[in-house]
Structure 1
Amino acid sequence: MKHWALFLLLAIGCYVWQIEAEFFTSIGQMTDLIYVEKDLVKSLKEYIKAEESKLTEIKSWAEKLDQLTHNSTSDPEGYLGHPVNAYKLMKRLNTDWLKLESLVLQQTSDGAQHVSTLSVEDCFELGKIAYSDGDYYHTVLWMQQTLKQLEEGEASPVTQAEALDYLSYSVYQMGDMHRAVDLTKRLIAIDPTHVRAKTNLHYFKKSLEEEVKSDQTRDEEFYQSQSKKEVYMQPENYLTERDSYEALCRGEGIKMTTRRQRKLFCRYHNNNKHPRLIIAPLKEEDEWDSPRIVRYHEMLSDAEIEKIKEIAKPVLARATVRDPKTGVLTVANYRVSKSAWLGDDEDPVVSRVNQRIGDVTGLEMETAELLQVANYGVGGQYEPHFDFSRRPFDSSLATLGNRLATFLNYKEEPDAFRELGTGNRLATMLNYMSDVPAGGATVFPDFGAAIYPKKGTAVFWYNLFKSGEGDYRTRHAACPVLVGSKWVSNKWIHERGQEFKRPCGLTEVD
């Protein structure tokens, strides 16, 4: 409310100057000062009222923030495990606190909205972020949600025209020309002065006509059905590995049939009567038949998990991946997590866990990598990848039933583990160190498997055949964490030292 203070200062200054110059000139003129003073009092009251309103708003904001911080600090990890809480925290720190500063210093009336659901502005901003990343599919979903909330009457500075502008161009990028035209017409009906919409409409219509002439469009019925849907669906034949991965993360497309299910069993596992497993064998459960994936129950105790997390937390850093061209470790946007590497000398618990992995698998741990501990927050994920290093392509591998031809993004890598001198990554042991309320599954897009986190359990699979060739079916991904905090630890076991523990087979697929 600086304008009130400025007005008062200017007014008082002018009147005081007038009084000092001509105070005794005329009583008649002095009577005017009575009304001037009355105006000053009125302005002063309005200024006080405005300041009180400002302080009331700031006080209300402070009380809400105080309650929020009380809840968040009582259980930080649990609080941030809810995606809306995590998003709102980032929004407050990056946007709302700046608005509060503006309110205090510049007297703006904006304030934070403390709601339990995403607002129109939230959905719109998320859609814009997806759009800037070229992710038109998710742009469509967020812009449709924006329009839905606007149509339901939610007040917002975001307009339907703004959302339709992004939506129409995104569905065009998705290949749905008919719907792009319909949405652009709707945009022009709302805002007839929208120049870009008129230009786009002409371009979309022309593109549609060209596709019709070249017979590259799909059935008219398909497009009409798409246009009537509230939620946009990707066009036919758009399926890619990423879509298979996302479908599995949603619990769709899992290919475990009843016939295959009958081949899966549970058993007590003592690894051929290993001395440390005779008295306390582990519970082993088949998760998948081919390639074989097993889960070990009660692999880690709660105390061991907490100790490993305690050791890892101070040294967690953004997880890296190996560049397929250079072999150099670097960060990547398709792996969003933090990780730390722990050796046997870090703590007896780490040494004991590594020893247990060796006991259960019967494999040599001396050549294995350090225990990698990873934490995935809300939205944390690791898109489809191989654990092993790919070797020069051999067409004979196509006979292995690995469907190599489908891997359009197959990339030959340099020997990523040459410096280690321990060979390729033979096998993976993945320890789940937390439950995940929603999301966070480990999925295998090639054969349609989804394995869900369960605290204290571990899953194990071989990345290589006995011949040493990579099993390309083991390409897997870590689904985004939707609610909660996901903790895992990996043990990558290498080839060297396993010559007599897992000898070569007689064929490539042994």
Structure 2
Amino acid sequence: MYILKNLTFIGFLSACFICCQGFVNSNPKKSYAASTMELMKLLEVEDELVNNLNGYVKTLKMKFNLMERSLIDMSIEHNEMKSEYESYLGNPLNSFRLIHRLHTSWRKWYQYAIRIDNNALVHIENARLMRKMLPTSSDLQQACRGIYDLMSFYDLKPEDLAAGNLAGYSQPETGLTAYDCLALGEFGVQNRKDDLAEAWYNLSLTRFEDIFDKYQVHKAWAILLAKNKQFTEAFHHFENKPEEIVASNEVIHFEGVLATKQNCTAVVQKPSRLHCRYNTSTTPFTRIAPLKMEELSLDPYMVVFHDVVYDTEIDGMLNSSNFGISESVSGLKSEVRTSKDSHIVDSKTLNERVTDMTGLSMEMSDPFSLINYGLGGHFILHHDFHEYTNTTRLKQGDRIATVLFYLGEVDSGGATIFPMLNITVTPKKGSAVFWYNLHNSGAVNSKTLHSACPVISGSKYVLTKWINELPQMFVTPCMKDSNLHLSQIE
């Protein structure tokens, strides 16, 4: 009855497919979506699959029932032993049976539980062989295209089809599931029918009940919106990610882009209760040549040094550097960082100045990296630490701190933001911002999340120095709070 009830819809759908020019010719050997006869074959395949699965379930039930009956008998004897264990174990036959049961019987039950019955193997093999008869991804694409053609030819709306309404013929039992709607939404994205894709995503959301299923839709919808530059709407969808789900690299990337945009346009106030002073304590040289320093944060420790790199040094670096595109892949523009960078020969004078600023050793540290951000140049939210595994970290060390020199003014935009600290540093020629990426304990400090906002007008030049933790053993010993963050690195 179910087959007969739906033949009308199948014929209606297949007629539309046949009208699509090139459909049948493009797949002459087998195309389930091209004719009713092929769909009838597919119904037969489904019957075989259902019968095969039923046989597999019966086999498992027989195994389950046998184990359940045996477990009841064993539980009765076990409870009898517990109620009067002294008299029970006083009988040497009972003692023998207990030892034998635990040594032999339970091992046999374990082997029986994990062993796959031959009858079950037959059903599994049948299921594997029948995979060749199932629709391919091409068949699904054709079926999706047929639904879209129906909407175009007969002015049908996604909500009508999802409810089982076909041009005046209402058949609620043929309504689409949440996964059906999601598949049609994904097809819409692939074929640049974004409005219809969003409609299908919305219908899918209303049908899903599980939060993890819903997140599949939120993620797909957010990525679509982000690609269309609808960042605010996309951000709301990403906010629906359950804590238990580990975000994919694609999701992490888009979340970074969205968060950067949101924080770069936010109004940020400068931190209070901090002050400016002359630094005279990091090295003996600073006692006779103190450095102008402005405190920004105490956790993590972050300061801005003023007038610590000179015009002659800046001109020399910019005139001698060969910039290359940063973070590019196969010549394509990167969405992570849009800039040009260049590694310069480490200057002894600059290294000594960084030591004067920070009190840290420059041994094993990364070479200076000179970066140029032009119009729209940016770097999405990121941390500077590597967060290596313990084995790698013991050999290579992580980045304990970062020094970022600003080598020029920027007309508009280009600020460095720390959203978790509510701090914005505006580029000022000759200044440098310094912060610790790690806690005193060596654990990474997630609060150091930062981003380079897009340059609106002008050109931004920065010089970066990442300082390695290993040579600092006797320079920055662990403080009293060294055990506060151990859980982050275990």
Which band: TM-score by shorter chain? Answer: 0.3 to 0.5
TM-score, length-scaled by structure 2: 0.47
Structure of higher RCO (CA pairs closer than 8 Å, 6+ residues apart): 1
